[in-house]
Amino acid sequence: MLLRKSRSGLSTRIGALAVVLAATTALSACAGRNDRPQLAYEERPVDLLYNAGYQRLERERWLDAVAYFQEVERQHPYSEWSRRAILMQMYAFYRQGRYQDAIAAADRFIQLYPGSPSASYAFYMKGVCYFEQIVDVGRDQAATGQALLALRDVARRYPDTPYAADA
């Protein structure tokens, strides 16, 4: 009798553990690629947010830096700081090896600020990100073609920049 009670208590615990694991798995699946918690919204001065992101960059805490730069964009969308924050996100994603995210940031910058002097950098980083994705020249050449087109585009659009010479 004592053994039977112990087994039923064990099966109840195992059932509860299974429910907790299933809920945790479902929540983590909803999270997607978001490996870090989002910053809680708290209105802060733009220079404070930007500098916090920059300090994270210097410490090579790439995702933390991205979170602060995204917060700059969210809280101060029409400021000069927002433009810089997109570029910094692009750089942090690149440094972390998240090339598709870096390309998306570059495309966003190019779309929002095509006449900016920093657009040449965005085009260049887009080409570099495609280049970095070339794994083996004997395999799929999609990244190679995209890198070639993007780097040629830099040289054509911005011939007098240091990026054109490197491209």
pTM of this prediction? 0.70
pLDDT grade for 24, boundaries at 50, 70 and 90: very low
Would you say residue 157 has pLDDT above 80? Answer: yes
As a whole number of angstroms, the distance between CA 65 and CA 88 comes to 8
- Report the b/e string of 114-147 with b at 16+ CB within 10 A: eeeeebbbbbbbbbbbbbebbeeeeeeeebbebb
What do you get for the CA distance between the two ends of the chain, in Å? 79
User: So what's the pLDDT on residue 61?
Assistant: 96
Higher pLDDT residue, 107 or 154? Answer: 107
* pLDDT greater than 70 at residue 27: no
Q: Which residue's structure tokens are 């909803």? A: 30
Task: Flag whether pLDDT at 110 surpasses 80.
Answer: yes
Please determine, for residue 146, whether its predicted confidence score (pLDDT) is greater than 80: yes
Greater model confidence, 11 or 95: 95
